[in-house]
Chains A and B, each alone.
Chain A
Amino acid sequence: MSEYYFRTSDLAVGYNGKTLIHDIEINIRAGEILTLIGPNGSGKSTILKSITKHLAVIRGDSFIADASVNSMNYKEPSQKLAVVLTERIKGELLTCYDVVATGRYPYTNTLGLLSPEDREKVYDAMRRVNADDLAEKDFTAISDGQRQRILLARAICQEPEIIVLDEPTSFLDIKHKLELLSILRSMAKEKGITVIMSLHEIDFAQKVSDKIMCVKGDVISHFGTPDEIFREDIINELYGITAGTFNIAFGSVELPRPAGEPEVFVISGCGSGINTFRRLQKENRPFYAGILYENDIDCQVARSLAAEVVTEAPFMPVSDAAYERALALMKKCDSVICTGVPIGETNRRIASLIEAAKGLGILQTEGGTEDLPEG
Chain B
Amino acid sequence: MNKLETNGAGTRRARYLAVFIGLLVAFAVLTVWNINSGSVRIPVTNIARIIFTRQGDQTEYDIIWALRMPRIITSAILGGGLALSGFLMQTFFGNPIAGPFVLGISSGSKLFVALVMIVALRFVSYVSSWMMILAAFVGALIAMSFVLLAARSIKQMSMLLVAGIMISYICSAITEFLITFAQDTDIVNLHNWSMGSFSGIKWSGVRISSFIVLVSFVVVFLMSKPIGAYQMGESYAQSMGVNVKRFRVVLILMSSLLAGCVTAYAGPISFVGIAVPHLIKMLLKTAKPILVIPACFLGGGVFCMFCDYIARTAFAPTELSISTVTALFGAPVVIAMLIKRHSAKA
Q: Given the known inter-chain contacts A82-B239, A135-B8, please indicate yes or no for A105 contacting B286, CB distance below 8 A.
A: no
List A60-97 residues whose CB lies under 8 Å from chain B.
Answer: 74-79, 81-83, 85, 87-94
Q: How far is the CA of A83 from the CA of B241 in the complex (A)?
A: 12
Residues of A within 8 A of B232 (CB): 89-91, 99, 102
Residues of A within 8 A of B236 (CB): 83, 85, 87, 89, 102
A212 shortest CB reach to chain B, Å: 25
The answer, among A53, A92, A136, for a CB contact under 8 Å with B4, is A136
Q: How far is the CA of A85 from the CA of B239 in the complex (A)?
A: 10
Binary CB contact string for chain B from 224 to 238 against chain A (1 if under 8 A, 0 otherwise): 110011011101101
Residues of B within 8 A of A87 (CB): 233, 235-236
| Structural contact, A93 and B225, CB atoms closer than 8 A | no
Residues of B within 8 A of A243 (CB): none
A111 contacts partner chain B, Cβ-Cβ < 8 Å: yes
Q: How many residues of B contact A (CB 8 A)?
A: 28
| Structural contact, A78 and B287, CB atoms closer than 8 A | no
Residues of B within 8 A of A133 (CB): 1
Contacts across chains A and B counted by CB atoms under 8 Å: 83
Q: Is the interface of A mostly helix, strand, loop or mixed?
A: loop
| Structural contact, B239 and A91, CB atoms closer than 8 A | no
Residues of A within 8 A of B225 (CB): 105, 108, 110-112
| Structural contact, B224 and A111, CB atoms closer than 8 A | yes
Q: How far is the CA of A126 from the CA of B291 in the complex (A)?
A: 25
Q: How far is the CA of A82 from the CA of B240 in the complex (A)?
A: 8
B13 contacts partner chain A, Cβ-Cβ < 8 Å: no
Q: Given the known inter-chain contacts A74-B242, A78-B241, please indicate yes or no for A110 contacting B285, CB distance below 8 A.
A: no
Q: Given the known inter-chain contacts A123-B5, A135-B8, please indicate yes or no for A52 contacting B239, CB distance below 8 A.
A: yes
The answer, among A106, A132, A136, for a CB contact under 8 Å with B241, is A106
Q: Given the known inter-chain contacts A74-B243, A105-B225, please indicate yes or no for A112 contacting B231, CB distance below 8 A.
A: no
| Structural contact, A75 and B228, CB atoms closer than 8 A | no
A54 contacts partner chain B, Cβ-Cβ < 8 Å: yes
Q: How far is the CA of A110 from the CA of B221 in the complex (A)?
A: 10
Residues of B within 8 A of A93 (CB): 281, 285-287
Residues of A within 8 A of B235 (CB): 54, 83, 85, 87
| Structural contact, B238 and A54, CB atoms closer than 8 A | yes
Minimum-distance CB pairs A-B, first 6? A78-B241, A112-B225, A75-B241, A105-B240, A91-B231, A74-B243
Using a CB–CB cutoff of 8 Å, the interface residues on chain B facing chain A are 1, 4-5, 8, 94, 96, 222, 224-225, 228-229, 231-233, 235-236, 238-243, 281, 285-288, 290
Using a CB–CB cutoff of 8 Å, the interface residues on chain A facing chain B are 52-54, 74-79, 81-83, 85, 87-94, 98-99, 102, 105-106, 108, 110-113, 123, 132-133, 135-136
